[in-house]
Amino acid sequence: MSEKPAYIVVDVRIDNAEAYEIYKGKVVPIVTQFGGEYLVRGGEMDVIQKELWSPTRMVLLKFPSRARALEFMHSKEYAPVKQMRLDNSAGSLVILEGV
């Protein structure tokens, strides 16, 4: 049986747009290095129901497995770039195992 894909779901509020643009440029090659790909990166959304939370800006990444998604999140390559994200935005991030 093959591994299940995993998804990183992020809801982000950008506080420093200029710095966040730099982050976006640096993160893509690292995501790719770990086998990930962006499926959604911002864009228009229709919020149909918001009883638990009201989303701001959604990002969706797909990785070949949960292990690869976690390797990316905790990698030495991503660490300084992740700090850029943390310093210039606020958000929620979840890793979900797919089917």
Query: Could you report the per-residue pLDDT of 2-31, keeping only the tens digit for each?
Result: 799 999 999 999 999 999 999 999 999 999
The residues near 29 (Cβ < 8 Å, ≥ 6 apart) are: none
Confirm whether 1 is domain-assigned: no
Confirm whether 27 is domain-assigned: yes
Q: What is the pLDDT of residue 14?
A: 97
Please count the structural domains in the chain.
1
Confirm whether 20 is domain-assigned: yes
Confirm whether 67 is domain-assigned: no
Confirm whether 68 is domain-assigned: no
Confirm whether 93 is domain-assigned: yes
Tell me the whole-structure pTM to 2 decimals. 0.93
Q: What is the pLDDT of residue 1?
A: 62
Q: What is the pLDDT of residue 2?
A: 76
Confirm whether 71 is domain-assigned: no
Parallel, antiparallel, or unpaired: how do β-strands 6-14 and 37-41 relate?
A: unpaired
* Structural contact between residues 58 and 42, judged by C-beta atoms closer than 8 angstroms: yes
CATH for 15? 3.30.70.100
Confirm whether 36 is domain-assigned: yes
